[in-house]
Amino acid sequence: MRDRVNRLMALIIQACALSSVLVLMGIFLMLLINGAMLFKEVSVFDFLTGMTWNPGAFDGPAYGALSLIWSTILVTIGAMLMAIPLGIAMAAFMSEVAPRFWRNLLKPLIELLAGIPSVVLGFIGIELIGPLLQKYLGLSTGFNALNGSILLCLMALPTIISLSEEAIRAVPFSFKEASYGLGAGKWETLIKVTLPACTSGLIASSMLGLGRALGETMTVLMVTGNALQFPHGFYDSVRTLTSTIAIELGEVASGTTHYFALFAVASLLFCLCLIINIAAEAIAAKFRYRQT
């Protein structure tokens, strides 16, 4: 009897585990199959390298996603360039340098930052950051890639900070002791021993922050201007992969080429996330030393 219950429970748990994999596979297949329909009419090469995205044109609609891809990459890179150094520095400050008082003050504040709805952040981007950028950088508009990057940086920071802090905290005290014992100071120990010892954790936290930034839709939609053009820098207005889906999917007729094109865009986004995750694993594994 007991044996049978055990076997039944094992089966149920296996089914639960399998279902999450099935859902994931289902999503991926749905995206891929619908997306693949596009390539009956548009070649993969044109889709990936075409500079013009204009599915609504009567005379020869264009489905070139390159400017969308580049927009996404630009905004995300900008966000990461700010968020990774800032986040790791903040995490190091909180776990190694700050007195307990500051730590207890900062930790809940950062968790609060994670809880801000993306719409609200978008609002800040429109009302505060946009005008500031316009005024102090002398731009014609503050709705550009830089604005999006700044907001995405804010959104990725809590993830990066709290996970990095955990990684830094997990470094055994014996490493620090050894470093101090050899005549190192606080900063030398932090930079030469503590941070290198948790590189894999720092990379993982950065990649998770990156994933968060890459998939974020609402804030970038609100503040990047959404101009359909190939951006040449952070001051240009951009339209990311996510924004494009959000803007166009509601108005597109099901089963049209445009409809399938949006699925192709979604598949692309999915693949990008997948590549980043796999790369993160590979990089983290390279830095992971066997801990005794």
Partner 1 sequence: MSQMKLEAKGLDLFFGAKHVLKKVSIRIPDKQVTALIGPSGCGKSTLLRCFNRMHDLNPMAKLKGDVLFEGQDIHLSKAAELRQKVGMVFQKPNPFPQSIFDNVAYGLRLSQKLTKSELEYKVKAALSQAHLIDELPDLKASAMELSGGQQQRLCIARAVAVSPSVLLMDEPCSALDPISTRKVEELVLQLKSDYCVVIVTHNMQQAKRVSDLTAFMYMGELIEFSETRQLFDKASHELTRNYLEGSFG
Residues near partner 1 (CB under 8 A) are: 172, 174-185, 188, 192-193, 196-197, 289-292
Nearest approach in angstroms of CB 175 to partner 1 is 6
User: Residue 61 has which token pair?
Assistant: 């609609």
**Per-residue exposure over 57-82, b if at least 16 CB sit within 10 Å of its own CB, e if not:** eeeebbbbbbbbbbbbbbbbebbbeb
Instruction: Using the minimum distance from each CB to partner 1, give the nearer residue, 193 or 266.
Output: 193
Q: How far is the CB of 194 from partner 1 (least distance, A)?
A: 10
Q: Which is nearer to partner 1, 20 or 174 (CB)?
A: 174
Q: How far is the CB of 103 from partner 1 (least distance, A)?
A: 14
> What are the E-state strand segments in the chain?
53-54, 62-63
Non-local CB neighbours of 112 within 8 Å, separated by 6+ positions: none
Taking 3-state DSSP, the helix, strand and coil percentages for the chain, each rounded to the nearest 5, stand at 75, 0, 20
Closest CB to partner 1 among residues 174, 254: 174
Closest CA to 230 of 112, 61, 39, 68: 68
Q: Provide the minimum distance between the beta carbon of 190 and partner 1 in the complex, in angstroms, as a whole number.
A: 13
Other CB atoms within 10 Å distance of the CB of residue 100: 7
- Closest approach of partner 1 to the CB of residue 85, in Å: 22
Nearer to partner 1, 140 or 174 (CB): 174
Dihedral (Cα; 275, 272, 115, 165), 10-degree rounding: 30
Q: Give the shortest CB-100-to-partner 1 separation in angstroms.
A: 10
CB of 180 to partner 1, least distance (A): 6
Taking the least distance from each CB to partner 1, the nearer of 184 and 227 is: 184
For residue 62, which phi and psi values (nearest 5 degrees)? -115, 140
CB of 292 to partner 1, least distance (A): 6
- 176 vs 239, which CB is nearer to partner 1? 176
Q: How many CB atoms lie within 10 A of CB 83?
A: 29
Instruction: Output phi, psi for 54, to 5 deg.
Output: -150, 75
Nearest of 248, 249, 247, 258 to residue 222 by alpha carbon: 247
Between 115 and 183, name the residue whose CB sits nearer to partner 1. 183
DSSP state of 291: P
CB 92 within 8 A of CB 133: no
With respect to partner 1, which residue has the nearer C-beta, 127 or 177? 177
